[in-house]
Amino acid sequence: MLIVPAIDLKGGKVVRLVGGDFSEEIVYGEDPVEVARKFEAAGAAWLHVIDLDGALTGTPRHLKQVTEIAKSVKIPVQTGGGIRSAEAIERYLKAGVRRVILGTKACLHEGFITESVQKHGDRIAAAVDVKDGRVTIEGWVRREWMGPKALVDRLLDQGVKTIIYTDASRDGKLLGPAVETLKEILDFLGDRASFIASGGIGTLNDLKQLMPLEAVGLDGVIVGRALYDGKIDLKEAIAQCSPKGSSPASMSKPAGSSKGSGS
């Protein structure tokens, strides 16, 4: 199970939101590149970088910082937040980002993500962000009518091979993951795509609770505030939850592969 550190950017700084609330932010650093290098030095195989301002406004605001991160580390970077045009995707991929995450646009415009996947393949991932059982978009401030399974099913039909599922109501609260909900989504997903979970991780035991879900398709877990608050040591988490190590490509599963081979 891949442990993926999160770097959330707001106003050029590294922050964490509490429960997806933009009025509740905690600033953890002024230099995103320094944070990225520390995570790489601790053994991270991937980085998850989100432009919070971009997610809220619909236009990328941190291309410069994301580019600097991608150029400063040797491990792959996936990024999202306000990426809602073909031009924006191209800019990030040319900047050295390994994978672009589409959220709001993936939810609202079916043709866009279909075309993006056809052009860029597994360099496109889709975000499924959920609050109170419903998909939430536009920086987690707008909730849609659909539940997560309906969106996941549609994304799979459109060729998406990586789903990043976030429990926005738990994100940044250190309450622990909703294990049963994740299992339900994984059972529905089957072996059709890679699945990365996010939201609520507060302790090493939280990560260990999720390890049995590898058998039903959990490929990675994104960890944010718990790393910054010192509640989880990244090196220890990798040693205990990824004992065999994980290659940088392990979060991209080709169609038809077995669920046990993702990490």
Domain of 218, in residue numbers: 2-244
pLDDT score for 79: 98
Residue 184 pLDDT: 97
Helical segments of the chain, H only:
32-41, 52-57, 63-72, 86-94, 104-108, 110-120, 148-157, 179-189, 204-210, 225-228, 234-241
* Residue 107 falls inside a structural domain: yes
Establish if 29 belongs to a structural domain. Answer: yes
> Taking the complete model, does pTM exceed 0.85, yes or no?
yes
pLDDT given at position 82: 93
Asked if residue 83 is part of any domain, the answer here is yes
Active-site option among 51, 53, 129, 219 = 129
Is 254 contained in some domain?
Answer: no
User: Which residue in the list 8, 51, 122, 219 is annotated as catalytic?
Assistant: 8
One digit per residue, the tens of pLDDT, for the chain of length 263 reads 999 999 999 999 999 988 777 888 999 999 999 999 999 999 999 999 999 999 889 999 999 999 999 999 999 999 999 999 999 999 999 999 999 999 988 888 889 999 999 999 999 999 999 988 899 887 656 666 689 999 999 999 999 999 999 998 898 899 999 999 999 999 999 999 999 999 999 999 999 999 999 999 999 999 999 999 999 999 999 999 986 655 444 565 544 443 333 32
Is residue 251 included in any domain, yes or no? no
Residue 253 domain-assigned (yes or no): no
- CATH code (residue 33): 3.20.20.70
What are the residues whose beta carbons fall under 8 Å from the beta carbon of 38, sequence distance 6 or more? none
Report how many domains make up the chain. Answer: 1
For residue 255, what pLDDT is reported?
Answer: 40
Tokens of residue 220, six digits: 């990675």
| 129 given a catalytic annotation | yes
What per-residue confidence (pLDDT) applies to 260? 36
